[in-house]
Structure 1
Amino acid sequence: MPKLLIFIGLAVLILTVYTVVDCALFERKRVRGLPRWVWIFVIVLVPLIGPLLWLFVGRGRGASPVGRSFRTVAPDDDPEFLRSLNNDKDTRERLRRLEEELADLDKPEAKKDQDVPKTTDPGEGDQPGRRDV
């Protein structure tokens, strides 16, 4: 039984030291509920409950940038990204030309088969004397 009490006392001491250091080094804007110096007093004066209160109540969540949510937003859902796009006349013209080129590539070409000479003899290729099997 004394070994268990020593172990529990050591665990509470380690938890207390960790939470005091965490509270002292934590960003001022993210401390919730009480001022930082009050949290340090609560952690030190109330041995087990003080550190647990700091971890679950006083310690704020992850930092979020000012004016933005912390979640990831896809580029097409982000209004700032959409505003930053350059929608000038040159860009629209370039996109139109690219779309026309893609449409031309999709059209079937009848001349394509007529322009290629057909050879029936396997020896009449680019390399004379070679017979591909």
Structure 2
Amino acid sequence: MLYFGGLFGVLTFGLWLFCLVDVITTNDGDVRNLPKIGWLLIVLFFPLVGSIAWLVAGRPARAVARPRHLERDMPAYPEYDRPGRFAATDAEADAEFLRRCRERAEEQRRKARDTDQ
């Protein structure tokens, strides 16, 4: 029985430590429902309940966490910003581009069939 109590204490401490660091490193504008200092005090003074409340109601809802240094430096879609990227300005240019892609694909298929025979 003592073993489970100690295990519960270690798990609670780990959860509390994780949530405490998470509150401190979260940007002020991303925190939900309370100011960041409020969440910090709740997690600090009520370890178990405060940690669970932070995870449920305070932590930013983001799909995938990215390293903090990358959030500021990288554009959302860097492949769209590279020089020389083709971007159609009108429907005719887009249709021409797609036609050339189809022709190139057909040529590659013909070459593949010829080498197989």
| SS of alignment partner, residue 48 of structure 1 | helix
Counterpart residue number, 2:82: none
| SS of alignment partner, residue 9 of structure 1 | helix
- Once residues 85 and 29 of structure 1 are traced to their aligned partners in structure 2, the CA distance between those partners, rounded to angstroms, is 37
Counterpart residue number, 2:66: none
- Report the alpha carbon displacement of residue 44 of structure 1 after superposing the two structures with TM: 1.6
RMSD of the TM alignment (CA)? 3.0
- Report the alpha carbon displacement of residue 29 of structure 1 after superposing the two structures with TM: 1.7
- Once residues 41 and 85 of structure 1 are traced to their aligned partners in structure 2, the CA distance between those partners, rounded to angstroms, is 53
- Once residues 55 and 90 of structure 2 are traced to their aligned partners in structure 1, the CA distance between those partners, rounded to angstroms, is 49
- Report the alpha carbon displacement of residue 47 of structure 1 after superposing the two structures with TM: 2.2
Q: Percent identity?
A: 24
Aligned amino acid, residue 87 of structure 1:
D
Greater RCO, CA 8 A, separation 6+: 2
Task: Please identify the structure whose Cα radius of gyration is greater.
Answer: 1
Q: Which segments of 5 or more consecutive residues in structure 2 lack a partner in the other structure?
A: 64-86, 104-117
Counterpart residue number, 1:39: 39
Runs (4+) of structure 1 exceeding 6 A deviation are none
Q: Which segments of 5 or more consecutive residues in structure 1 lack a partner in the other structure?
A: 64-83, 103-133
Counterpart residue number, 1:70: none
CA 86–41 in structure 1, closer or farther in 2 if over 3 Å, else same: same
Counterpart residue number, 2:55: 55
Please identify which structure carries the higher helix content.
2
Q: What is the TM-score normalised by the length of structure 1?
A: 0.49
Q: Aligned residue pairs: how many?
A: 77
Which of 78, 85, 92 is the matching residue for 2:88?
85
Q: What is the TM-score normalised by the length of structure 2?
A: 0.55
Aligned amino acid, residue 52 of structure 1:
I
CA 35–87 in structure 1, closer or farther in 2 if over 3 Å, else same: same
